[in-house]
A = this chain, B = another copy of it.
Amino acid sequence: MSYQIAVLSGDGIGPEVMAEARKVLSAVEARFGLDINYTEYDIGGIAIDNHGCPLPDATLKGCEAADAILFGSVGGPKWEHLPPNDQPERGALLPLRGHFELFCNLRPAKLHDGLEHMSPLRSDISARGFDVLCVRELTGGIYFGKPKGRQGEGEDEEAFDTMRYSRREISRIARIAFEAARGRKNKVTSVDKANVLACSVLWRQVVEEVAKDFPDVTLEHIYIDNATMQLLRRPDEFDVMLCSNLFGDILSDEIAMLTGSMGLLSSASMNSTGFGLFEPAGGSAPDIAGKGIANPVAQILSAALMLRHSLKQEDAANAIERAVTKALASGYLTGELLSADKRSEAKSTAQMGDFITQAI
């Protein structure tokens, strides 16, 4: 089998962590006899600098010709003065999600054994561990709903956004959450604000209907405000959290921070054909870019997600995940995961990549 991958390294630490993911991918290609071809395209801030816009046509065309997108990260202080629509994050990510209809966003987050002390949670809470999969709807809701804009003058000038969900949009993402729960702890917690939002009332109804096809999966509903609270008190009681676009944005970041190790988290955004965009959960971290200290694990794990979901190479994906687990379990860690007194044992970006490559 031969595959085409569009590589969009982007800004900040993007290129340096991507280099490590590429090393690891070479190793699995050799071991599993895969033929993967990579083409690099500019995206985000570097694309603004080189081509005047965050998502150039050539990049979009390259992605269209590919089987999957391996994404780094975009953004940085250099482009923060631009109007919101032209900034790297907004101008690159949202159009890609919309263009390829990447409605399904999977954001797994767990507390790794031995890294409980990184969590900002109280030690008796983090000691119980947690393993949550956030299933976020990514092409609907208030992100893309029309009308969106401004009208009026003076003090009466007003802005408006529309949150909008159809049964079709809700049921297809709900189905994915229930299916994912089957391979996990068989529990779906659907997050909404049905005491205020018409969209949430429909959301709850449709989720209830989909649940009928999954009698083996437990379903519970929780309000978004209560969800942000309960995650702090009893994160171990959640399994799959099913969220609309905006609530998923907020909750998945809260959960990511609860792990205390953002550099280990990756995210998959897919459409119904299996095409997807795979990226680390953290940002472009311009403050540490170019220093060779960024954690490449999230980028490496996003390559594993790509192998599993878009290339259907489950064995190769598992091999990467096992190699990462081995590195972490051996205490092979970048500096941000080490307490101050152990900082001298920190591994560099390249050392992490090499270790994981060798472990394949």
The chain A residues found within 8 Å of chain B, CB to CB, are 84, 87, 89-90, 94, 119-123, 125-126, 142-143, 145, 148-150, 152, 154-168, 171, 193-199, 201-203, 224-226, 228-229, 232-233, 246, 249-251, 253-254, 256-258
Contacts and interface: CB of A to CB of B under 8 A. Distances in A.
Given A226-B253, A257-B228, A233 B160 contact: no
A84 B201 contact: yes
B158 A202 contact: yes
Nearest to A94: B196
B156 A166 contact: yes
A10 to B, nearest CB: 16
30 contacts: A84-B201, A120-B122, A120-B233, A121-B121, A121-B122, A123-B123, A142-B142, A142-B197, A143-B196, A145-B160, A148-B197, A157-B167, A157-B202, A158-B164, A158-B166, A159-B164, A159-B165, A159-B197, A160-B198, A160-B199, A161-B162, A161-B198, A162-B163, A163-B163, A193-B246, A225-B250, A226-B253, A228-B254, A229-B254, A232-B254
Nearest to A172: B155
A84 B199 CA distance: 12
Query: Chain A interface secondary structure, helix, strand, loop or mixed?
Result: helix
Nearest to A119: B122
Nearest to A225: B253
Contacts of A165: 158-160
A89 B195 contact: yes
Contacts of A84: 194-195, 201
A253 B121 CA distance: 16
A242 B134 CA distance: 27
A253 to B, nearest CB: 4
A86 to B, nearest CB: 11
Given A121-B122, A158-B202, 5 more contacts: A84-B194, A123-B123, A149-B198, A155-B168, A228-B250
Copies of this chain assembled into the complex: 2
Contacts of A94: 196
A196 B250 CA distance: 13
B120 A123 contact: no
Contacts of A251: 228
A249 B225 contact: yes
Contacts of A203: 159
Nearest to A257: B229
B160 A162 contact: yes
Given A156-B168, A160-B164, A232-B120, A254 B254 contact: yes
Contacts of A246: 193, 196
A120 B73 CA distance: 31
A193 to B, nearest CB: 8
Nearest to A201: B84
B123 A121 contact: no
A193 B148 CA distance: 14
Contacts of A256: 229
Contacts of A258: 232
A162 to B, nearest CB: 6
A236 to B, nearest CB: 12
